[in-house]
Amino acid sequence: MSFRKSMLVLSLLVASFTTSCTTRYQEMLRDRDQRISELESQAARLRGENEELQRRSVTPEPAATVKRENPSLVDDVQKEVGDSVEVRYSKGRLSMGVDNSVTFDSGSTTLKDSSHRVLRNVANVMKERFAGRRFFIEGHTDTDPIVKSKWRDNMQLSMERADAVRRYLVQQGVPESAIAVVGYGQHEPRDGGRKERNRRVEIVVGDSK
């Protein structure tokens, strides 16, 4: 083999090796980014579960007592967030519930465009009216079992949807450290007769941090 041919073969081998290394490096970066995203979601879930356990270990103040302290709070918040959000007291705490028909398509965890205005209103209330408070983002589904889906079950789906809402609220300026995420799946129905009302995400206002 001539010197020129030898150099050509060597150049091709080096180019092939370099391309292979570059491709592998890019795959490693993608794997790293995916793992970071998974760990962040797991951390948010564990933080939510931990704080929910702490919340349940303390007997909440009856809702009627809370209402007497500030009887107009529900009406005031309802006006600020709009009719697409249901403001009520749940377990003695103020809850802002957003129906999944506003936030997600069936089986999806990607926020619909229609949810942005609604969640911006919620974020503004969280920042301005409840600054310094802890928030629980609670995901809920109906009782229909998960079939032929990438989600293991309703618990995982509700958790991922709650986390999608969390990420959007953080983008709107709500402190990430103030938010805990909880997935209830089908286990805390809102309305036994109308399962569509059970598919929702609730933003619950907790105590001061």
Q: What is the pLDDT of residues 185-196, one digit of tens each?
A: 999 888 766 778
Pairwise CA distance, residues 106 & 46, whole Å:
26
Q: How many CA atoms lie within 13 A of 85 on its CB side?
A: 29
158 — pLDDT class (breaks 50, 70, 90): very high
Direct distance between the N- and C-terminal alpha carbons of the chain, in angstroms, rounded to an integer: 76
Confidence of residue 26 (pLDDT cuts 50, 70, 90): confident
Instruction: Give the structural domain span for 139.
Output: 56-208
Report yes or no on 179 lying in a domain: yes
Q: What is the CATH number of the domain that holds 117?
A: 3.30.1330.60
Asked whether residue 128 is assigned to any structural domain, the reply reads: yes
Task: Provide the pLDDT confidence category of residue 62 given band limits of 50, 70 and 90.
Answer: very low
Amino acid symbol at 150: K
**Which one is predicted more confidently, 149 or 114?**
114
- How many structural domains comprise the chain? 1
Say if 17 falls within a structural domain: no
At residue 94, φ and ψ (nearest 5 deg) are -70, 130
pLDDT of residue 38: 65
Q: How far apart are CA 21 and CA 144, in angstroms?
A: 47
The pLDDT of 169-174, averaged and rounded, is 97
- Kindly state whether residue 190 falls inside one of the protein's structural domains: yes
Q: What pLDDT does 67 receive?
A: 43
Lowest mean pLDDT among 42-51, 72-81, 116-125, 136-145: 42-51
Is residue 125 in some structural domain?
Answer: yes
The pLDDT of residue 151 is 87
Rounded distance between C-alpha atoms, residue 162 and residue 157, angstroms: 9
**Strand, helix or coil for residue 153:** coil
List 189's β-bridge partners, or say none.
none
The closest alpha carbon to 139, from 36, 34, 41, belongs to 41
Determine the pLDDT at residue 85.
Answer: 96
Q: Is residue 4 part of a domain?
A: no
Higher pLDDT: 19 or 181? It is 181
pTM for the structure as a whole: 0.67
In single-letter form, the type of residue at position 146 comes to I
- Decide which of 47 and 68 is more confident: 47
Per-residue confidence (pLDDT) for residue 150, from 0 to 100 = 87
Average pLDDT, the chain: 81
**pLDDT tens, position by position, 67-106:** 444 668 999 999 999 999 999 998 889 999 999 999 999 8
Tokens encoding 89: 């007291």
48 part of a folded domain: no
Domain presence at residue 44 = no
Predicted local confidence at residue 145, as pLDDT: 86
